[in-house]
Structure 1
Amino acid sequence: MTVTTPYGPRTGTGPVVMRLEQVSRWFGNVVAVNDVSMTIGPGVTGLLGPNGAGKSTLIHLMSGFLPPSSGTVTVDGEPTWHNENIYRRIGLVPEREAMYEGISGWDFVLANARLHRLPDPKAAATRAIETVDMQSAAARDVAGYSKGMKQRIKMATALVHDPDVLLLDEPFNGMDPRQRLQLMDLMTELGANGRVVLFSSHILEEVEQIAGGIEVMVAGRHAASGDFREIRRLMTERPHQYTIRSSDDRALAAALIADGSTSGVELGVQAGSAVLNVQASDYHRFARRLPVFARERGIRLYEVTPADESLEKVFSYLVNR
């Protein structure tokens, strides 16, 4: 897949905004999405949650494939359900491989270009196929494609009409490491060019690398929103863990133990050098008092590193609390 996309900055006036307001969706007695409100602007956003959390249902609601049982889903104020104008602004890469396998990749992408009534469907299809680096396999039937190739041709169909909003459900499934990196580059560039790019994924490392923000779904509900580091800082009910390197770990440890902001202080060794492992029970007080203690005692702080501020740990906490 090419790293540089021919899809330049979007031409619309003003930033595109997708908004969900008190959205619920139920199937009989099963509530798949429960009273979800979120606002998603330009850039790359990761949609996280365990299996059964409602991620795919939410993406189908956003794309206009499902009507909300209650609430509204809009793009720039226009509803996504039963709105032909909005369908032209949204591209969808579904997780399921419901594809016409008896036709070639080229015909599949070209058919989507024609469905959107593009002025030059062949040029649009060529551009989309080149963007996902599928030129050499475009003439082959989709039935003979590998999982990763099917993912890339689905990406081409979603891009063919140059949408303002790109929704991807587990887009990295079946891709090899090189293809995943190239898709990540493509998504990053599309987001940087003013498009809304929202994707679900269970590969937290990749979400951490490219998502400017995350939306977390747990049991059909919206559990958290924003940059995952900021979400971690807002978790005041959970102790924060830090690794500290200083010029006098013992003196600093004694001061922290005597202070009410910590619930655990331990001297340790990391990468061959002494460290102080601290569990801060009162994050805000700890952040204020640490530099004061160091200054009063003439201690130099070489490093203060959060030990639990990774997306994996944030996600695990939100899911299990």
Structure 2
Amino acid sequence: MTTIDIDHTSRWFGNVVAVNDVTMRIGPGVTGLLGPNGAGKSTLINMMGGFLAPSTGTVTIDGSPIWGNEQVYRQIGVVPEREAMYDFLTGREFVVANAELHGLDDAAARRALATVEMEYAQDRKIATYSKGMRQRVKMASALVHEPSVLLLDEPFNGMDPRQRMQLMDLLRRMGDDGRTVLFSSHILEEVEQLASHIEVVVAGRHAASGDFRKIRRLMTDRPHRYLVRSSDDRALAAALIGDPSTSGIEVDVQEGALRIQASDFGRFTELLPQVARAHGIRLLTVSPSDESLESVFSYLVAA
């Protein structure tokens, strides 16, 4: 079980501070790294991958510094966002070259290419690959030595839906096997489906950590929003609106539902079924409308 620790780490480029006093721990399983463009995600991944030195603080793997420690590359695989590749090589040649750097043979390269389902195009020049194919061959190169840590910067870019599902399944399996997988993505719905844990950076600072639903419930200064369908929406609205846990109700005729704002999450979740039972109303749908990862992320960025 491998863990990466970032401890009071900053990184600046001239007068620009890209990462500002960030502390986080990335452990086994799948972790999503979120943040708007320019938030510092790529800089963090590059420090975790040993490509950048921290300006201050430390970045370690199982207690050993990553920067300047060539031994860590036995444990780490990196899929960078940048497109620059050796276009004159075939996909197989590219993966074999990385296998040889690790003292491995062609069999390791063949296994890695099969893992990402790229055998069919392995003898074509990388120059002929689509963006999604380039992503997959980069993934094969990162997996060739079976690392315990995998760092991926926007890995889903350019992939079609089938390729995305295949990669998501692969990352889930790796997380379930106890590997440490960190990926950044702007496709929030997929992060929500895939990541068991999220880390959020905003303007170079660590904004939040943990399960996004738990983070949302800690935001007590914002009302929780629900979409509720019932056998009698108007009677339910009339029964709820007088309670202090309910700060607003809107009847959405088009949706055939109530849009409810609850200022007291705990009380409202107990009140709703009690009120429905007392008035003989059947609850058909009770759905949080702002607990998606996209909603949580928007709150954090706006904070």
TM-score normalised to the size of structure 2? 0.92
Aligned to 1:168: 152
Aligned to 1:20: 6
How far apart are the structure 1 equivalents of 2:266 and 2:56? 39
Aligned to 1:3: none
How far apart are the structure 2 equivalents of 1:55 and 1:281? 33
How far apart are the structure 2 equivalents of 1:56 and 1:110? 26
How far apart are the structure 1 equivalents of 2:113 and 2:184? 23
Please give the secondary structure, in 2, of the residue aligned with 1:44.
strand
Deviation digits for residues 206-236 of structure 1 (CA, Å, limit 9, x no counterpart): 2122111221111111111122222212211
Aligned to 1:307: 289
How far apart are the structure 2 equivalents of 1:267 and 1:136? 54
Aligned to 2:35: 49
Structure 1 unmatched runs, 5+: 1-14
How far apart are the structure 2 equivalents of 1:203 and 1:237? 27
Aligned runs of 1:47-196 on 2, under 5 Å? 47-118=33-104, 121-196=105-180
Aligned to 1:6: none
How far apart are the structure 1 equivalents of 2:127 and 2:273? 63
Deviation digits for residues 156-185 of structure 1 (CA, Å, limit 9, x no counterpart): 110000000101111111222221111111
Alpha-carbon spacing, 1:26–1:257, altered in 2? closer, same or farther (3 Å) = same
* Cα shift at 1:24: 1.0
Structure 2 unmatched runs, 5+: none
Aligned to 2:261: 279
How far apart are the structure 1 equivalents of 2:228 and 2:66? 50
How far apart are the structure 1 equivalents of 2:13 and 2:113? 37
How far apart are the structure 1 equivalents of 2:166 and 2:284? 37
How far apart are the structure 2 equivalents of 1:144 and 1:248? 60
Q: 1:230 aligns with which of 214, 218, 233?
A: 214
How far apart are the structure 2 equivalents of 1:312 and 1:226? 15
Deviation digits for residues 41-77 of structure 1 (CA, Å, limit 9, x no counterpart): 2222111111101110010011111111112212222
Aligned to 1:8: none
How far apart are the structure 1 equivalents of 2:129 and 2:284? 53
Deviation digits for residues 112-151 of structure 1 (CA, Å, limit 9, x no counterpart): 1111223xx2111111111122223222322232222211
Deviates more, 1:108-117 or 1:153-162: 108-117
Residue type at the aligned position of 2:131: K
Residue type at the aligned position of 2:62: D
* Cα shift at 1:282: 2.4
Percent identity for Structure 1 against Structure 2: 69
Please give the secondary structure, in 2, of the residue aligned with 1:216.
strand
Deviation digits for residues 75-125 of structure 1 (CA, Å, limit 9, x no counterpart): 22222111222221000000112222222222211111111223xx21111
How far apart are the structure 2 equivalents of 1:160 and 1:57? 24
How far apart are the structure 2 equivalents of 1:300 and 1:108? 61
Answer yes or no: is 1:318 the counterpart of 2:291: no
How far apart are the structure 2 equivalents of 1:83 and 1:236? 44
How far apart are the structure 1 equivalents of 2:254 and 2:150? 43
Residue type at the aligned position of 2:57: G
Deviation digits for residues 274-318 of structure 1 (CA, Å, limit 9, x no counterpart): x33211122233234334444555555443221111112222222
How far apart are the structure 1 equivalents of 2:163 and 2:239? 51
How far apart are the structure 2 equivalents of 1:297 and 1:174? 52
Alpha-carbon spacing, 1:153–1:291, altered in 2? closer, same or farther (3 Å) = same
Please give the secondary structure, in 1, of the residue aligned with 2:260.
strand
Q: 2:203 aligns with which of 207, 219, 226?
A: 219
Alpha-carbon spacing, 1:146–1:303, altered in 2? closer, same or farther (3 Å) = closer
Deviates more, 1:52-61 or 1:190-199: 190-199
TM-score normalised to the size of structure 1? 0.88
How far apart are the structure 1 equivalents of 2:280 and 2:130? 63
The count of residues paired between Structure 1 and Structure 2 equals 303
* Cα shift at 1:195: 0.8
